[in-house]
Structure 1
């Protein structure tokens, strides 16, 4: 098949608009450096992100290529179906919990990244152990969304997969490199508007095609494949619950969501941003679900795609672009490819800036405490490029969108989430408990096995089965690992605190200074109020020896 020239021109035109928006935003970022340090302006937009832009960038972060294509893939896949589609409802749950539980304390304490409370409670050495898997998770997400886009462009434009991935990644890296969080936020506005309009435009054309059967008839009845509603077998209830919790709660351990919370102009706006974004996430998930249902209701022998079906060819991951190409007019498929590109870029740039934030602020800055703003700016730029290059390599290693997504959530859910809860809400948590929980939690999770990356199960929980020599867990092993981590953190934190406090262990052995930090954790104190009613806060860090977080004026709203 020849190259789809009109489609390629449309896609390049869309990329040009996004890149131009990113360049404009980068100039705006330079003008805002006076509102705070260069680092804060680059990573948090100077904490001046208003309600409208905040809602758009929060929503766009979750409506990525994995969301759009992965939802359609799961609904279409035989043996899965709608009941196994984890993203729209579960992402909504993530955002609601974030708004109710984390937005207020995180924003009021003016952290720069999600990992700041880790450093305050655990110390720099133990906190660094937590940062590494979190950065790895963001890189996995970056590769995941590029995989989604590469498959879509290849299917519709007949452009080689490698070109599709590399061009898209390059555009994303360039505008993120130029303007940091400002470019990410403003391009998210353009991208989300286009995603919303394009996805809902596609649905009527899909339904007008005479080949697919009525999806209401195929929802519960066998036709070309099992019903697209799907079902959860009794033996799979534990696995289903585990995946539901991983996707719903695992996102809370992502720097992406906290970066948008911390960039909001106030704690109250951060909370409202989460709630509104939760509703928009559900609305934008409906088109992908409908397209997946149509695909499951289609006799592909009657289309130009022919036999066997996409599932039998191992191309279920690309079912949305396949539907666009074979069930809609050409001009509609071109609009669809641009919509997927917008979704991918809206998430990919978020992963870039998130991973960069944690490395530059929580690792490099602690190694080089005397680093100047100019030095930090270069560190951020180099980090964006490195993260982008590493993430771009991942789509060439696997073709499972859902597999990458679940793996990324797995790291955040089992390793980071229990620690985040402890460092934010549990005064007893300390570095010793954090280290013990970290290693024991990871050990248990590895022993449970993970077929996605080829790790065999050493521990066989009840209810599993062996398939082709591989033991498949059906118990909620991820949730077990998460709870074990949480319990270990609290238990060992208390034990070590008491050992040093009661002089059972000599204080000279207390390398993490637990005996010096038995008092409550650093708090935010109201310092002063100026004539405009602006409040400045100050973190008391006398017991931790950590730097005070830079203060940022919040009078300028976007």
Structure 2
């Protein structure tokens, strides 16, 4: 494929604009660092992100390349259609649930990361167990965003996949290194504006093309493929529900989401940010939905793309850039490049910073090097950003990586971390014993339940399922069942172990996690980040300035 020079120039221009914004924001961060700590400034923007910037960065953190491309793909896919384009509704649910139940307690307690509640209440062992799936999930999301961006750029511009991925990752790494959350937040504003304006400018040109049929007709009676509105068969309801809840509720476990809440000026502003982002994320999805509908209403034999169709060539995931390239003027497709690139970049920087924050705050500062200086922590953050970006680039070369990464990251967030997060935030019963048992159980149940999309066989087969193409289709929403089992298991075993120690059935000297000891936290007067305390046995427990009981 020949290199699209105008498209390449447009992409470079967008990257320059984003990089310039990141550099400008880094100066703001540098000025703030003189009066605050690295944790407060680099990781959380000194908890001073105003409402307008907060809404933009909250929305942009999830409205990424996978969101824009995936919505169009689902609508276009003849086996799915609009009813399976769940991302807009999933994210709207996530923002609403997050605003109603999670934003206020997380911000009021002044946590730094989503792992802090576990570190404060359970100690080191559970912290390591919980930070692993959280870090791996963000790494997979990073690789998924890079893969989506590389596929889009290579389709329209003709630039080789490896170069597009490396250039995009390098730009995101640079401005994340320079200014931390300040750079990420302010570049998110530019990126979201590009997404919104760019895609909406493209839509009219696709509708004016003489090739596609009227989408209002093809929604129910399509000449070229099944109607793009889609259908939901009875046997597919468990799968649909499972996918909807996996991201709609599991997203609470992502550091990229909680980081925006924690950086807000106040708990009330954090809640408002979530609710506004719920509305804005749905609005941003409308152009992708329309483009997917136009693609489903197109006879591709009449375009330069020819036959077979993108779906038959296994290129349905590229349907948005392919539609821009074949159904709109070249200058319009260039505008689309900026919009989709902005979408992917807005997620890439979020995941880079998330990984750096969790590793630096929860592992390095509070377990590996408790006496690390501010300058040392800043160096660790920068090294982690570079390492995470490099690993993300390497992961993009795995075959079928988008589906693989999405499933692994979503499963870990929903099945493993989400039930633990509910218990640690809202239950006084839960303790380390129940948390460990729940972690092991949820991991085993999910692995044994199987996953057809990545070829994982089902060892546990729930009654009432059926075998289709040698694959056992579970009759229940498997991920939700696993999450519920983990939740109940955490509470049950927490109660059992607490009762056994309290009644003397098990001697207190066997209490290796120290749940029978009462630890009184102290305040760190300099900042609100978690600080270390030691109990009588020398076990390090993490405490926050506003937590009164472990």
Separation (CA, whole Å) in 2 of partners of 1:257 and 1:344: 16
Determine if contact 1:147/1:399 at 8 Å carries over to the other structure: no
Correspondence for 1:343: 343
What number of residue pairs does the alignment pair up?
542
Q: 1:414 to 1:548 in 2, by over 3 A?
A: closer
What is the Cα-based RMSD across aligned positions, in Å? 2.2
- TM-score w.r.t. the length of structure 1 is 0.93
Aligned equivalents of 1:241, 1:403: Cα separation in 2: 20
Q: How does 1:24-63 map to 2 (within 5 A)?
A: 24-63=24-63
Match of 2:440 in 1: 439
**1:522-542 CA distances to partner (integer Å, 9 max, x unpaired)?**
7999x9xxxxxxx99999978
Q: How many Å separate the matches in 2 of 1:550 and 1:25? A: 29
CA drift at 1:548? 4.7
Matches within 5 A, 1:299-338: 299-338=299-338
User: Offset of 1:367 from its aligned partner?
Assistant: 1.8
Going from structure 1 to structure 2, the CA distance change for 1:495 and 1:548 (only over 3 Å counts) comes to: closer
The residue that corresponds to 2:490 in the other structure is 489
| Distance (Å, rounded) in 2 between the aligned partners of 1:538 and 1:413 | 25
Gaps of 5+ in 2: none
Q: Aligned ranges for residues 129-528 of structure 1 at < 5 Å?
A: 129-365=129-365, 366-399=367-400, 401-402=402-403, 404-517=405-518
What TM-score do you get using the length of structure 2 for normalisation? Answer: 0.94
Q: How far off its partner does 1:24 sit?
A: 1.4
- Are the aligned partners of 2:529 and 2:544 in contact in 1 as well (CA < 8 Å)? no
CA distance in 1, matches of 2:22, 2:156: 26
**What is the alpha-carbon distance in structure 1 between the residues aligned to residue 382 and residue 529 of structure 2?**
29
Match of 2:541 among 546, 553, 557: 546
| Conservation of the 8 A alpha-carbon contact between 2:51 and 2:269 | yes
Q: Provide closer, same or farther for how the CA distance between residues 78 and 524 of structure 1 changes in structure 2, counting only shifts above 3 A.
A: farther
326-335 or 357-366, larger mean C-alpha shift: 357-366
| Distance of 2:485 and 2:123 partners within structure 1 | 22
Q: Distance in 2 between matches of 1:542 and 1:268?
A: 34
- Contact residue 524 and residue 537 of structure 1 kept, 8 A: no
CA deviations 1:46-76 (Å, max 9, x no partner) are: 1111111111100101110000000001111
Matched-pair contact (CA < 8 Å) for 1:71–1:87: yes
Secondary structure class of the residue paired with 1:113: coil
Cα shift at 1:406: 3.7
- Distance in 2 between residues matched to 1:396 and 1:497, nearest whole Å: 48
Secondary structure of the structure 1 residue equivalent to 2:460: coil
Q: Is the Cα–Cα contact under 8 Å of residues 301 and 308 in structure 1 kept in the other structure?
A: yes
Provide the secondary structure at the position in 2 that maps to 1:164: helix
User: Is the 1:246–1:409 contact (alpha carbons within 8 Å) kept by the matching residues of 2?
Assistant: yes
Is the CA contact 1:168–1:345 (under 8 Å) kept in the aligned structure 2? Answer: yes
Which digits, 9 at most, give the CA deviation of each residue in 1:321-368, with x for residues without a partner? 000000000000001011111001101100010111111101111221
Residues 151 and 482 of structure 1: CA distance in aligned 2, closer, same or farther (over 3 Å): same
- The DSSP-based 3-state class of the residue aligned with 1:546 is strand
The answer on whether the counterparts of 2:3 and 2:157 sit within 8 Å (CA) in structure 1 is yes
Supply the distance in 2 between the matched residues of 1:334 and 1:456 (Cα, whole angstroms).
43
Distance change (3 Å), C-alpha of 1:522 and 1:405: farther
| Other structure's SS at 2:467 match | strand
Task: Give 1:467 shift.
Answer: 3.9
How far off its partner does 1:410 sit?
1.5
CA contact (8 A) 2:29 2:179 kept: yes
Name whichever of 469-478 and 239-248 sits farther off. 469-478
